[in-house]
Structure 1
Amino acid sequence: MTKFIFVTGGVVSSIGKGIVAASLGRLLKSRNYSVSILKLDPYINVDPGTMSPFQHGEVFVTEDGAETDLDLGHYERFTDTSMSRLNSVTTGSIYQAVINRERRGDYDGGTVQVIPHITNEIKERILLVAKDTNPSVVITEIGGTVGDIESLPFLEAIRQLRKEVGRQNVLYMHVTLVPWIASAGEMKTKPTQHSVKELRSIGIQPDILVCRCDRPIPVGLKRKLSEFCDVPEACVITCQDASSIYEVPLILERQGLAQQALELLHMEQRQPNLVQWQTMVDRLYSPKYTVEIAIVGKYVSLGDAYLSVVEALRHAAIATHGDLRLRWVNSEDLETEPGETYLAGVDGVLVPGGFGVRGVDGKIAAIKYARDRQIPFLGLCLGMQCSVIEWARNVGGLTGANSAEFDPTTNYPVINLLPEQQDVVDLGGTMRLGLYPCHILPNSLAFKLYQEEVVNERHRHRYEFNNNYRQLLLDSGYLISGTSPDGRLVEIVEFPQHPFFISCQFHPEFKSRPNNPHPLFKGFMQAAIARTHPTTGLQTPVEVS
């Protein structure tokens, strides 16, 4: 039978529940247990698809086209397991489902209430994940902080679930903070005690405490936490701050987290195999080359807005022995200042996805700067569309060329809506979303990187390349190296007269893994390193062991 681990958080928000859940998933997978990880988010939005990145960070897209919380990206990267729309649940989606049932008369005229109707729907979603893939363990992260009003229905649901599946099949893990008070010169356990007290007041006794801290917790304090929180001392786990999130599974393994979880769930203790993960972390901490990449976007004041892009760059840097330095460039600044002011000296320029006209001209200026100066360039989604606009204006001679999204009256809409998108009114969940195949042109840079004729990549966009300008693009020296299998949709554009200039309509960052970087990112990183270390360029790829 599938076992269930529920991860809650206390004291402060952003405590790191997602990384802890993903790390535990990695440790269980290293013991040959199958794992699926579910996120319960307390906000009323149906999904984060219509939320500003400044509010919520990036929107992660699953293979089946769900727009989800960025924590699902951590789950996939740590466990190397693809999640689905079943792995992302929000208060909005729960209430929407219950209200739809009420409108259909499914409740036979009864009064619809939080208990049992909302909590039953939550439990059904958790059990559905177990039923869908039949994993050994389902790890469920409850968003928010214990004590929040919004999280109460989720906490009540996971309290009830232990009776339905059996207490021996359920484990409650509470992630909390043990702060160091500098003026007192000591660590304090009181915030954790109060957090556990709050959790116990609604009927949940944590089995394991994962204590976030910036230094080791003394044995005496662990004993105190054990006594006051009624948790065995071996189950008080120290999770000290790490230089990289990829070191966290190794820290938690040394602390015995997986061993305690398996014991409490009455599962077989197996020997972990973390050799590959340890090798990856060792390589991360011992780079050979310094490489600086400029990320040009309009959400650069919040790094989480481009989280998967940053992690994909980091994966590529690890594989190529690079010490990644990021230069965050606000694309709006490039609309009023020359590119040299913000981009001088970088080894590569990356323009990520986004929506809306703000900052687009700055992205176009950055692309022209990279093209003119032979700086490796990678464009993602909107970055690909901006590269097409830049080409149309500065190479194709189409003055005023633009995307119909930004200028509906342009004479040269090189980026336009698909016919099937013309009458779409709702914004949420109506774009081209999820996994689509892409046919790669032989003898292209894309083919050299992928080494495959057909690849599958994740999409999240509404506008596409306008095929009325396809021939003009080809005649002016650009190459369409990736299309939909029927040839209708342009997926990858590259400029062969350049050391590395490639842009794609999809989001390759969602498929990158720390021990298996995405080919486009790896090639981009190799080309960037080659600017200052020529022997490691694309012509002589770095071997990844």
Structure 2
Amino acid sequence: MARFIFITGGVVSSLGKGLASAALGALLQSRGFTVRLRKLDPYLNVDPGTMSPFEHGEVFVTDDGAETDLDLGHYERFTGVAARNSDSVSSGRIYSTVLEKERRGDYLGKTIQVIPHVTNQIKEFIDIGDDEVDFMLCEIGGTVGDIEGLPFFEAIRQFANDKPRGDCIFMHLTLLPFIKASGELKTKPTQHSVKELRSIGLAPDILVCRSEGPIPEKEREKLALFCNVRPESVIAAQDLKSIYEAPLAYHREGMDQAVLDAFGITPAPQPNLKRWEDVADRVYNPEGEVKVAIVGKYTQLEDAYKSINEALTHGGMANRVKVKIEWVDAELFDREDPAPHLEGFHAILVPGGFGERGTEGKIKAAEFARTRKVPYLGICLGMQMAVIEAARNVAGLADAGSEEFDHEAGKKRFEPVVYHLKEWVQGNAKVQRKADDDKGGTMRLGSYDATLVEGSKVAEVYGTTSIEERHRHRYEVDTKYRKQLEECGLLFSGMSPDGTLPEIVEWRDHPWFIGVQFHPELKSKPFAPHPLFEGFVKAAKEASRLV
């Protein structure tokens, strides 16, 4: 049976609970334990699938088709454990389940209340798969004191009481602000946060304190005294140059040892940190630099492309180069020539997105990359825009466009080279969708197989002709234009196994121009870079030598 670690946050949000959880999971793995991480979010959306990237950052998709919080991406990248639908839950999903049960009569006429019905549902979720791993790490979203988080805090209090003594511990992440005027590191916000936590029946076993620098011994002892934890269980979480140093930094602070001590696991297995030492060495000791432009529409918030950002970093590690990323607003090219803005880059990446805004700029970016022979990687919408560019400028289909944009405008303006995906095969079943279906959870989601053309660039990159990748889209390139486009040099180098859905396109006469319908960034890890990102950065590295 698993031991449970509950990670909560206080003082302010965005302190790095997800990163701390992921790093702790990696450290426990380094000592030979198995782990699984999950996220409990208090918002009322059923999942983040319908949220704007400006609201919540990217949506991370699992193999089994769950649309989840971006923290699950951190969990996967640091532990290599594939997340699944049961690793992410929101208040909306919990309440939906409870209300469905009430409508079916499962509660036998009882009055439905937050306690016990909602908290019981949360506890059932936490307990899923508890016999599969040694440690289950559960991060509670938000900060202590948030009204919407109270059912989750109450649920984990009950859960810890239900389990045998010593099976659950609590780790609390807070902020230690530094007041420059007085030159002091202030502990009072953390004290108040712990006081708030204790008022709802939870007491932290470990304090993780985010700060700009080290915690002086005096402040460490003060925190231990007033927050009722051992001094060695006060862990400093200092600002780092790279998130991939986090496992090593937390180990130096004694986080993993503090956790094992809290569970009474002695003697503790010795850690093997060679993997993370190699990762840190590749991050901090590059042998060159490449510049990559990400031409997107959510460039004001980098978290909207979090996995892409990290996958490029992984590709840089594999090639021993630093990837300098610059965010370019696609809407800029609606008004201006892209050349002056893109000429200094060694590679161009056009990511996914929804809606027509910025798409003409993405099409121009694809044209620039094709005509100037600049390495190009188009992901999801980035692939579709590359196909539309080819149709318009090479195949002679001047009105080529996407049905998605006609649907928004309410009238036909384009020759629909990209159309609304109405049906596809999932496992042994046929899935059907209509354009006016609910938005949430209705896309082609999760892991699907693809077959690659032998001798293609992408088959060379993968080293195989059979792959499996994660998808999140509701529009697809129409195969009725395949012959016309291939005669112009755009190879459909990857297809669904039944040959109906285009998965990958590439230009035959280009050094490195690949568009993919799926999201390869979701499966990239620092110790196992995704082949497409490794190949993309390698092409950028070669391009940098020609400049």
TM-score, normalised on structure 1?
Answer: 0.96
Q: Which of 242, 245, 252 is matched with 1:244 structurally?
A: 242
Give the whole-Å Cα distance in 2 for the aligned partners of 1:532 and 1:264: 51
Shift of 1:248: 0.9
Question: Structure 1 residue 404 and structure 2 residue 403: aligned?
Answer: yes
- The residue number in structure 2 matching 1:386 is 385
2:464 corresponds to 1:452: yes
After superposition, what is the alpha-carbon deviation per residue over 1:165-191, rounded to whole angstroms, capped at 9, x for unaligned? 123000100001111100111101000
1:423, 1:321 → 2: CA distance? Answer: 45
Quote the residue 1:44 is aligned against.
44
What is the one-letter code of the residue matched to 2:416? P
| Alignment deviations for residues 380-421 of structure 1 (CA, whole Å, 9 cap, x no partner) | 000000001000000010011001111251452111123333
Instruction: Name the CA distance, whole Å, in 1 between partners of 2:436 and 2:414.
Output: 23
Do the aligned partners of 2:379 and 2:516 also contact (CA within 8 Å) in 1?
Answer: yes
What are the Cα deviations for residues 101-135 of structure 1, in whole angstroms up to 9, with x where unaligned?
Answer: 0001111111100000000000000001425xx11
Give, in whole Å, the separation in 2 of the partners of 1:482 and 1:154: 44
Aligned position for 1:543: none
1:259-308 deviation digits (Å, cap 9, x = unpaired): 11112113351111110211111110111111110000100000000000
2:208 partner letter: V
Shift of 1:87: 0.3
* 1:331 aligned onto 2:330: yes
Q: How many equivalent residue pairs? A: 533
- For 1:443, the aligned partner's letter is G
Query: Per the alignment, in what secondary structure is the counterpart of residue 405 of structure 1?
Result: helix
Mapping 1:58-77, distance limit 5 Å: 58-77=58-77
Amino acid at match of 1:48: P
Structure 2 residue aligned with 1:440 = 452
The CA deviation at 1:534 is: 5.8
SS of 1:171 mapped into structure 2: strand
Query: Secondary structure at 2:317's aligned position in 1?
Result: helix
Q: Distance in 2 between matches of 1:8 and 1:142?
A: 5
Distance 1:79 1:482 in 2: 29
Among residues 499, 503, 508, which one is paired with 1:496 in the alignment?
508
1:119 aligns with 2:119: yes
Match of 1:78 in 2: 78
**Number of the residue aligned with 2:159:** 161
* Structure 2 counterpart of 1:523, from 513, 530, 535: 535
Kindly provide the amino acid, as one letter, of the partner of residue 313 in structure 2: R
Question: What is the DSSP-based 3-state SS (H/G/I as helix, E as strand, rest coil) of the residue aligned with 2:144?
Answer: coil
Q: For 2:33 and 2:459, how far apart are their aligned partners in 1?
A: 35
Cα distance in 2, alignment partners of residues 100 and 167 from structure 1: 34
Q: Does 1:419 align with 2:422?
A: yes
Q: Which runs of 4+ in 1 moved over 4 A?
A: none
Distance in 2 separating the partners of 1:510 and 1:70? 10
Cα distance, 1:322 vs. partner?
1.1
For residues 534 and 436 of structure 2, what CA distance do their matches in structure 1 show?
37
Contact 1:36 1:129 in 2 (8 A): no
Alignment check: 8 A CA contact 1:41 1:89 kept? yes
1:361 is displaced (CA, Å) by 0.3
Q: Which runs of 5+ in 2 are unaligned?
A: 424-432
Instruction: Report if the CA contact (8 A) 1:178-1:213 is conserved.
Output: yes
- Alignment map for 1:75-474 (pairs within 5 Å): 75-131=75-131, 134-268=132-266, 269-408=268-407, 409-410=412-413, 412-420=415-423, 421-422=433-434, 424-474=436-486
CA displacement, residues 21-57 of structure 1 (integer Å, 9 cap, x when unaligned): 0000000011111110010001000000000000000
Q: Could you tell me how far apart the structure 1 residues matched to 2:493 and 2:271 are?
A: 42
Aligned residue type for 1:100: E
Residues of 1 paired with 2:178 and 2:421: CA distance? 56
Letter in 1 for 2:227: C
RMSD: 1.1
Instruction: Give the superposition deviation at 1:480.
Output: 1.0
How big is the shift at 1:532?
A: 2.0
1:202 counterpart letter in structure 2: I
Kindly provide the amino acid, as one letter, of the partner of residue 252 in structure 1.
Y
What is the rounded CA distance, in whole Å, between the counterparts of 1:333 and 1:221 in structure 2? 50
Gaps of 5+ in 1: 536-545
**1:483: which partner in 2?**
495
Q: Is the 8 A contact 1:401 1:410 kept in 2?
A: no
8 A Cα contact 2:448 2:470, kept in partner: yes
CA distance in 1, matches of 2:434, 2:42: 33
2:119 alignment partner AA: T
Q: Compute the displacement of 1:424 (Å).
A: 4.8
Moved more, 399-408 or 486-495: 399-408
* TM-score, length basis structure 2: 0.96
Task: State the distance in 2 between where 1:194 and 1:531 align.
Answer: 54
Q: Whole-Å Cα distance in 1 between the matches of residues 340 and 299 of structure 2?
A: 17
Partner of 1:23: 23
Letter in 1 for 2:92: G
Counterpart of 1:539 in structure 2 is: none
Q: CA deviation at 1:210?
A: 0.5
1:541 corresponding residue in structure 2: none
Distance 1:8 1:477 in 2: 54
Paired amino acid for 1:216: P
Q: Structure 1 residues 139, 70: CA separation in 2 closer, same or farther (over 3 Å shift)?
A: same
Q: Relative to 1, partners in 2 of residues 1:162 and 1:433: Cα closer, same or farther, differing over 3 Å?
A: same
Higher alpha-carbon deviation: 498-507 or 160-169: 160-169
1:7 aligns with 2:7: yes
- Deviation of 1:423 after TM superposition, in Å, equals 5.1
**CA deviations over 1:418-449 (Å, ceiling 9, x no partner):** 33333551000000000000111110100110
* Mapped partners of 1:107, 1:278: distance in 2: 53
What letter is aligned with 1:24?
L
Q: Distance in 2 between matches of 1:60 and 1:28?
A: 24
Equivalent pair of 1:87/1:129 in contact (CA under 8 Å): no
Taking the aligned partners of 1:496 and 1:276, their CA distance within structure 2 comes to: 37
Q: Is the 8 Å Cα contact of residues 504 and 514 (structure 2) preserved in structure 1?
A: yes
Paired position in structure 1 for 2:545: 533
**In structure 2, how many angstroms separate the alpha carbons of the residues matched to 1:129 and 1:176?**
29
Distance 2:544 2:314 in 1: 20
Aligned-partner Cα distance in 2 for 1:129–1:424: 36
